[in-house]
Amino acid sequence: MTLPTLDARILQAKSVVVLTGAGVSAESNVPTFRGADGLWRRHRAEDLATPEAFGRDPRLVWEWYDWRRQLIATRRPNAAHEAIAALETYVPEFLLVTQNVDGLHRRAGSRRMAELHGSLWRVRCLAEETVTENLAVPLPSLPPHCACGAPLRPDVVWFGEALPTDAIRQAWDAAESCDVMLVVGTSALVQPAASLPMVGKAHGAYVVEVNLEATPLTRIADETHYGKAGEILPRLLGTLAQPRTPTPSP
């Protein structure tokens, strides 16, 4: 008995979740966290992506984020982002759950999305707690300040910080009820995001992993496809990776 192809399985699915990590942006030349050119290589996560680091040296932390914003501003979504954005238009109940903060999924057209770790392109006032979009590249001053005079922080989730409740609830609910979960470009090391595929599997989802290498998730995945997401997703998803052609008006 031959297994249904993934696109056929997705077409029969009512609900699909896609979980992405930094690997989905690698072919846009955005450095991943733990790869050979990884972001953490030049900096230790503990030194920069924590509230303690920000409290100790907000300027150093903002220099790192401003550098990442400037780099990502010159990058474009790749075929993997585009395939995921197209897939969303074919599935009745679809949720993209991303750990990425680079904004490339949104630029590719993804809309039904939970950003578990926030976004580099939003800032939060430490006094008013207000969150605003900020696309300034480079930032005019480091650390930037709110109009009220208080310092701003990146609206991202640092290590030791809780994830946004609405995003994590949305992701957990979707993982518990999806028929297919596609996991793309994550080392599956960072919690609680890394637990989502196990939640999906435990509730009967068919789990498909796309990665350059094996991860802690590989042993529970129903399928693992080794290679670059920008090459594999269009092949795996077939016509579902192509934007819907608008039906010509009669």
Any idea which residues carry the catalytic annotation? Answer: 117
CA of residue 82 relative to chain centroid, distance: 13
- Residue 71 touching ligand BV8 (CB under 6 A): no
Task: Indicate the pairing of strand 15-20 with strand 206-211.
Answer: unpaired
Helix orientation angle between 79-87 and 229-237, rounded to the nearest 10 degrees: 30
Residue partners of 117: CB distance under 8 A and separation at least 6: 98, 99, 100, 101, 156, 157, 163, 193
Q: Is the CB of 15 or the CB of 25 nearer to ligand BV8?
A: 25
Nearer to ligand BV8, 127 or 214 (CB): 214
How many angstroms from the chain centroid is the CA of residue 115? 6
Residue 95, beta-bridge partner list: 17
Question: Which of 60, 131, 146, 156 contacts ligand BV8 by CB under 6 A?
Answer: 156
Min CB(75)–ligand BV8 separation in Å: 13
Nearer to ligand BV8 by Cβ, of 15 and 82: the residue is 82
CB of 124 to ligand BV8, least distance (A): 13
Count of residues in contact with ligand BV8, rule CB under 6 A:
36
Cα separation, 136 vs 144, whole angstroms: 10
Residues 78-137 close enough to bind ligand BV8 by CB under 6 A: 99-101, 117
Contacting residues toward ligand BV8, per CB under 6 A = 21-23, 26-27, 32-35, 38, 49, 99-101, 117, 156-162, 185-187, 189-192, 210-213, 215, 228-229
